[in-house]
Amino acid sequence: MGIAVHARGLRRSGRRMLACFAAASISAAAIFALQAFISDWFGAFAVFGVTAVTIISMARPREV
């Protein structure tokens, strides 16, 4: 029983990680597309921020 619940939780977290990664990829692509209109430093900082927030949100444990 405990193993099945754990496996189900892993599957759920895997989907959540995939969704977070997809959202970060789309955000990064949009930021790269906008880099022609904004300064290089601001674009690099925005990409770093999106990546950091995504990694933190994936690593943070969630209550079921």
pLDDT at 36: 65
pTM of the model: 0.40
The per-residue pLDDT of the chain, averaged, comes to 68
**Per-residue pLDDT tens for 8-39?**
555 566 677 777 777 777 777 777 777 666 66
Q: DSSP states of 16-58 as a string?
A: HHHHHHHHHHHHHHHHHHHTTTS-HHHHHHHHHHHHHHHHHHH
Whether the pLDDT of residue 61 is over 60: the answer is yes
pLDDT at 48: 78
pLDDT at 33: 72
